[in-house]
Amino acid sequence: MSDFTRETAVDRLYDLQHDLAKYIRMPLAFLPSHATPDEDRVALQRALRTTYRRAEDVLPASMLWQQCADSLPEAVRAHASFERLERVVERALAWDAAIDDVRVTIDRNRVLGDFGAITAAIDLLIADVEHHAGSS
């Protein structure tokens, strides 16, 4: 991977950290501790389905993830930490099934834990990509 490609990949990962990892947590993290289950469900819907707004576009978490993953070069996707990031994002996105199923109780702490794991996984991948740059 050339330095330009590596730098671009790192920039895209920082964008993902901002656009996905930051904004996916906000709706639930900002709810008061006494929020109702219905408020938790609405916040989860906002977190996953209207994660980020760009001009008139509203992007769900799944699209933010897919756009970033598709844009990364194979050298980045070959890192074990990318596979970890994929698993973490899939686990976070799986909460979407709970939005429309009122039989499922939304455990806000578990959701926030799954969402927070995205930041840590992105950090790890960035470190791996940057470390690889120093060892080339």
CA distances, 36 to each of 53, 99, 134 (Å): 26, 14, 49
Average pLDDT over residues 37-63: 95
Q: What is the pTM of this model?
A: 0.91
pLDDT digits (tens, 9 = 90+) for 98-136: 999 989 999 999 999 999 999 999 999 999 999 876 554
CA distances, 11 to each of 68, 88, 115, 130, 133 (Å): 10, 20, 21, 11, 14
Angle at 53 between CA 48 and CA 57, to 5 degrees: 105
pLDDT digits (tens, 9 = 90+) for 71-95: 999 999 999 999 999 999 999 999 9
End-to-end Cα separation, the chain, in angstroms:
9
Query: Which SS3 state, helix, strand or coil, does residue 111 take?
Result: helix
CB-CB contact of 20 with 92 (8 Å):
no
51: left (phi over 0), alpha (psi -120 to 50) or beta: alpha
CA distances, 111 to each of 27, 41, 54 (Å): 11, 11, 25
Average pLDDT over residues 63-72: 96
Residue 50 has a pLDDT of 96
Residue 51 has a pLDDT of 96
In which domain, by residue range, is 106 found? 3-134
Average pLDDT over residues 38-51: 97
Domain count, the chain: 1
CA dihedral 35, 40, 45, 50 (to 10 degrees): 40
